[in-house]
Structure 1
């Protein structure tokens, strides 16, 4: 599995999937009624010089090209839902002051530290491969981007001691934290996924929250002709990158004592007023899941 590569940049290995996600956000951002507004996504795409052609705006996508149109909807829904999760988790509610630490695991080209209206006092930690984060920081610096919160970068492979890297950047495990594992779990073998959530549990004070994206039976989904065609059309061999794992983060977090809720992509489409006309794509949307959990 390509995930065994120890170091990748934004146009190789798992890194190129982060660039594809940025391209989909750029397409969605440029629409008249976007699900998400990411003013930096197009800059990442243009700066990357990817060997795989990727659009930087909706005008780059032909009317009959369903690949990026569908990707922009899928990832627009994901971004919108997880944006709301993060902001809600940081807002004061009742007796809770809200989280003041946010950790983005495998942050990739996530620009939330720059584009979201964070409450005062929030620190966002980004954890990912050194070369991926270096590329992102260079593009943002050239554009004069300024974060809307305190931002700290932990340039470390998640298979290494990323907890120590967080601590070295000022992370305090005694404070409630809002964690995000977006676009990460499907690439992890079962034992690595379990260890990741165990480490999150150990670093989380009561009241901490986490959001996790996962897709049960991802192998069978990619074996479906429509999903396989979509993957091939994007030029990214997802089957070679995704892990063959049946680990269930919902059950894993529940066993660790977290209270878990879950929503499907199809349910998010209903919530935000989007539709999937193709029945195979609709089935794929019903299989994708996002869970949110709180540590009791």
Structure 2
């Protein structure tokens, strides 16, 4: 994979696969392991040994404190929000920047709902190959939608694949916004402004004060790698400004979660001795 952004698709699903070896996984998945390339599956298998698993987690935490818990908690958060949306009667799910995410294949409440997985063409090609290896074909309820978020027309490609704006939809935008320019973020939200009333938007964002170097929250290595060296991350928001930012496009913020909320909802109840990072937060909004 030559695109540096496309290369980031493996890490989150690898962490989910490794977490299956814990007594109480934060995100239960019987698919994540099979989404990985052969080298990733080998590592995930080795981490079934508790000592190896501790070494892998500790190495990740030493380099980027809070990363492990943050990735697991944000996925659990998204799962919970999707389930709430399904119970509320949403008619479709659109995953923006789907990568190797496996929610369409492991969440039983999505089996009868069309899921549109939208991502860079390179990631969509990889996802198609993985699904063909696992299922022989792309499952009937999934639509794979290639797009470049910086230049493509999101509404056009979704329409071409069968999505209708009048369908109440749960949009999932996980770990994508920081890779985009503000122009691309606003263009995407401009498209989502046409969503039906009652639709949901579940997304993550990186704090602006981290990106400008004002406060690194213990993520110095993350800052050097993604902001300074590779210049992959460029867009962020202040938590106090998220509600107003979304309201410009007809969305009402309903929840905004960080390490404190993740600890209360997920880590403490499962007796996990992990701490999530403040660098990235997860939020949910409803279309009004």
Which TM-score band applies after superposition, normalised by the shorter structure?
0.7 to 0.9
Deviations 1:40-90 (A, max 9, x none): 32333333x58xx99425345453752436533221111111011112101
1:264 is the counterpart of 2:258: yes
Relative distance call for 1:137 and 1:260 in structure 2 (3 A) is same
Q: Is the 8 A contact 2:267 2:273 kept in 1?
A: no
Relative distance call for 1:221 and 1:115 in structure 2 (3 A) is farther
Gaps of at least 5 residues in structure 1 are 1-8, 93-97
What is the SS of the residue equivalent to 2:144?
strand
Aligned to 2:60: 68
1:179 Cα offset (Å): 0.5
Relative distance call for 1:84 and 1:146 in structure 2 (3 A) is farther
Aligned to 1:3: none
- Counterparts of 1:63-142 in structure 2, within 5 Å, are 63=55, 65-68=57-60, 70-92=66-88, 98-118=89-109, 121-142=112-133
Aligned to 1:229: 221
1:112 Cα offset (Å): 1.1
**TM-score, normalising length: structure 1:** 0.79
Match of residue 184, structure 1, among 176, 189, 196: 176
**Distance across 2 between alignment mates of 1:259 and 1:164:** 25
1:170 is the counterpart of 2:162: yes
**Distance across 1 between alignment mates of 2:54 and 2:251:** 45
Q: Is the 8 A contact 1:194 1:249 kept in 2?
A: no
**TM-score, normalising length: structure 2:** 0.81
Match of residue 211, structure 1, among 202, 214, 222: 202
Relative distance call for 1:265 and 1:197 in structure 2 (3 A) is farther
1:17 Cα offset (Å): 1.6
Q: Is the 8 A contact 2:200 2:287 kept in 1?
A: yes
1:208 Cα offset (Å): 0.9
Gaps of at least 5 residues in structure 2 are none
1:28 is the counterpart of 2:25: no
**How many residues of Structure 1 are paired with residues of Structure 2 in the alignment?**
270
Aligned to 1:17: 8
What is the SS of the residue equivalent to 2:219?
helix
What is the SS of the residue equivalent to 2:24?
coil
**Distance across 2 between alignment mates of 1:88 and 1:291:** 14
**Distance across 2 between alignment mates of 1:225 and 1:263:** 16
Aligned to 1:288: 280
Deviations 1:100-128 (A, max 9, x none): 11000011111111110125641100101
Q: Is the 8 A contact 1:102 1:178 kept in 2?
A: yes
